[in-house]
């Protein structure tokens, strides 16, 4: 099933709760930059699958915030989650207007799934004002959406727990948040097709 929502209020099944996968990293990074933690503090990064931060000789908290969003780095995200605590991330998600988004475990770990919905993702991303989060999103290159919306400023975060879920959430022209969630996982091309159609319906 595919559900979607936009930050201007359009949606179809936008409140359907799904595993958040890596989209939760948006709220982790936003919480970090508001936390007062020193971004220049050097940290040890325990190894976690599908990560690069644990292979680097020297990493700061600020590096972890960048890597968690730009490269969807699981190890970097876990460092931030352990320093921030789950409550701080959940409070940040709520501050950004999310009603059903909750972090409940580290990335690639046992325990209950982190949760969200398309409505929360679209509204939450549109509400993020921290330039360092948006800059990190601009460095991500794991979605075709920027190619299909050529000439637009498109910042995208994907989330995948294959074959259970695949999601994309984007901020277009710093104005419109678009989130498309699928469970079971739809092909990325199908999710991007839906996201593209939502922008073209209401490009203002």
Answer for the pair 140, 70: CB distance below 8 angstroms, yes or no. yes
Chain center to CA of 159 = 7
Residue 200: its pLDDT value, please?
75
Instruction: Indicate the number of domains in the chain.
Output: 1
How far apart (Å, rounded) are the C-alpha atoms in residues 202 and 191?
18
Distances from the Cα of 140 to the Cαs of 86, 144, 154, 183, in angstroms? 25, 11, 10, 23
CATH classification at residue 168: 3.40.710.10
**Residue 193, Cβ neighbours under 10 Å: how many?**
17
Range of 176's domain? Answer: 2-201
Q: Which residues of the chain have pLDDT under 50?
A: none
Q: Please give the model's pTM, rounded to 2 decimal places.
A: 0.96
């Amino acid at each position: 099933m595919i559900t979607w929502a936009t930050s201007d209020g359009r949606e179809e099944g936008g409140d359907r709760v799904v595993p958040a996968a890596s989209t939760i990293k948006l709220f982790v990074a936003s919480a970090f930059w508001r936390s007062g933690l020193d971004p220049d503090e050097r940290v040890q990064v325990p190894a976690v699958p599908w990560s690069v931060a644990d292979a680097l000789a020297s990493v700061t908290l600020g590096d972890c915030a960048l890597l968690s969003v730009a490269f969807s780095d699981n190890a970097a995200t876990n460092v931030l989650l352990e320093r921030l605590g789950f409550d701080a991330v959940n409070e940040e998600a709520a501050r950004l207007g999310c009603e059903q988004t909750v972090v409940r475990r580290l990335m690639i770990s046992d325990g209950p799934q982190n949760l969200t919905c398309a409505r929360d993702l679209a509204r939450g991303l549109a509400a993020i004002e921290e330039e360092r989060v948006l800059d990190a999103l601009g460095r991500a290159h794991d979605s075709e959406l920027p190619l299909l919306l050529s000439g637009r400023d498109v910042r995208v975060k994907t989330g995948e727990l294959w074959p259970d879920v695949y999601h994309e959430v984007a901020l277009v022209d710093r104005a419109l948040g678009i989130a498309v969630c699928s469970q079971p996982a739809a092909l990325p091309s199908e999710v991007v097709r839906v996201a593209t159609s939502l922008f073209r319906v209401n490009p203002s």
